[in-house]
A and B are shown apart, each in its own frame.
Chain A
Amino acid sequence: MADKILKKEDLAKLIASVTGKGGRFVAPTTAARQIVFKKVSKAEEIAPDYILARNSFKEFLFPQTEVIAEFTVCKDTVDMRGVEVEAPETVVFGARPCEAASLAGMRALFTWDFVDEFFTKRDDNTVVITVGCTKGDEACFCTSVNLSPESTEGADVYMRETEDGGYAVQALTDKGKKFVAAHAAVFSEGSAKARALFMPEKVPGVDLKKISERLKDKSHYDNPVWKKLAMKCIGCGACTFVCPTCRCFDITDEGTAFEGERRKNWDSCQYDSFTLHASGHNPREHQPQRWRNRFMCKFNFYPEKFNSKGCVGCGRCIRVCPVRLDITDVMQEFSK
């Protein structure tokens, strides 16, 4: 049930209303001939007709690189300074229902006993507006992981494109309702006919319950599928960087021996150095082990440990893979 209407011509006003209050407005835009989430200042910058952005919006909550501390080595001590997280009021507009569903898992992990405020403070200040998909491609498989273009998991506001180029608006969370109230002048009353949604076909034979059961049984460790996959995999890690639920990182110092900063940088479980001990021992020495870890993280760790989705079916990993590895093939294999 839509509460409000956002007319086509009023999108510019919404952006102005958000940025006028000092907020940043993030939306899919075109850069280097690709659709990417970026900060925008004008409605014309928003990609008019896109399936989904190449990057997920996770980088606005969990940046690729961020300073977590600064230090200066002095004569008798070290001056260690914590930093304040930059968490501007942010509106993510035009997220897809699949990627928004990644937030539950990210939130569970970043607050697992120890609260990572670099994530939570940004999350607290971010309003996620999803727009139901009217277009898709062969890589989309949200319907195979219990999601759809109508899913509202993780969304503060859910919108549907309307036939006249505007949006039907539904505020879902308190944050979403406050957002719509705060920019009330931009939204209109009324109704408009929504455009038809694109429903991806289900991947034949995929059964999440079966996958979960199979992964609990350790005999899958020797499944030849891991080796088969890894024969092709070049370990580039691209799948993990574009994945909305991947959140592994490295902590590293940059600067000179006397002055520098400690940073949290995105990392990937697909790299051999990720788990390599200084002794030379590596628990996940071979690519099949690393592929297995990635799949288990999505279909075993996230659901079992954090009661959330590790895979949201956005298909980014399929689109970006340089050797055309397809995670749905593995899902099929483990649904047998």
Chain B
Amino acid sequence: MAIMNNIYLPQLVTIEEIRDEAPDVRSFKLVFKDPRLREGFDFKTGQFALYSAFGLGESTFCIASSPTKKGYIQCTFRRSGRVTGGLSQLSVGDTMGFRGPYGNSFPIEEWKGKNIVFVAGGIGLPPVRSVIWNVLDNKADYGNITIVYGAKTVADLVYKDELKAWDEMDGVTLVQTVDPGGETPDWKGKVGFVPTVLEEAAPAAANTVAVTCGPPIMIKFVLNALLKLGFDENSVYTTLENKMKCGVGKCGRCNVGDVYVCKEGPVYTAAEIKRMYNDF
């Protein structure tokens, strides 16, 4: 009997490293068990995957590492449901499932020679971080980099080591903020919501693209703030992380109006978002 091609069958990956980023937020460094994939797995920044905890099911997150880092992939997730709860129970050396990469990507080739502003909130940083490292690993191709990142509290900021590294890099401006009440006595960053802090930082819009991800409500306000700062709606990108089960355009839940995020996204320009239903 011919073996069927099963689009729902995941690959197996081993957890090589676990890093606690923030309360309930954890990163996994994953390596494919299949040696051919370990060498040959390729993806583009912005693509997503479905990660499985066997016995509990699959969850969708972006690939948080950059394609420039070879031999492994990373994902970052918040423990909030059944599958992420199960993933949180796993240890280094354990096996999980990986299905992907799916979806479109950020067109970073088109951005060469331009400045880039990254705006992220909370656990919206992981997809943006993939783009940040992809750009920083080819830094000569791009202009100035500005990163505006905020979380509810200081503890909730993810990738704390990397924030420090970005802050110290030449040509990179990092603006960090926490929501009012989320600061600590020794907090040196801003206090305020991301869209407000972005407007205060007022990065120049000329020859600049912007990338944003965060909670849906933050995305909506950040898009407005960027347009107010003079950004062209075709130069502003975001990624929509809707609930997905199949990742391949079949299961029917990730659509925003007539747009299937898994097949026609997750990366969209502000102009495309404007044409979509206000339903994400």
Contact = CB atoms under 8 A, between A and B. Distances in A.
Interface of A: 68-69, 71, 73, 76-78, 80, 82-85, 109-110, 112-118, 121, 218, 221, 247-253, 255-258, 260, 262, 264, 267, 269, 274-279, 281, 283-284, 289, 293, 296-297, 300-301, 304-305
A221 B263 contact: no
Classify chain B's interface size.
35 or more
Nearest to B8: A68
B255 interface: yes
B57 A252 contact: yes
Given A249-B252, A296-B257, A77 B33 contact: yes
Chain A interface, DSSP helix/strand/loop, else mixed: mixed
B249 to A, nearest CB: 5
A253 B56 contact: yes
Contact of A115 (B7, B54, B57): B7
Contacts of A112: 248-250, 263
A260 B97 CA distance: 14
29 contacts: A77-B12, A78-B12, A78-B54, A82-B6, A83-B6, A84-B4, A112-B248, A113-B248, A114-B248, A114-B249, A116-B7, A221-B278, A221-B279, A248-B251, A249-B246, A249-B250, A250-B245, A251-B57, A253-B54, A256-B55, A260-B54, A260-B55, A262-B57, A278-B84, A279-B78, A279-B80, A283-B242, A296-B257, A300-B258
B277 interface: yes
A75 to B, nearest CB: 10
Contact of B253 (A110, A258, A269, A300): A269
Nearest to A260: B55
Interface of B: 1, 3-10, 12, 33, 52, 54-59, 78, 80-81, 84, 93, 95-97, 215-216, 242-243, 245-246, 248-253, 255-258, 263, 277-280
Contacts of B215: 279, 281
A69 B255 CA distance: 26
Given A258-B55, A260-B54, A113 B279 contact: no
Contacts of B59: 278
Nearest to B242: A283
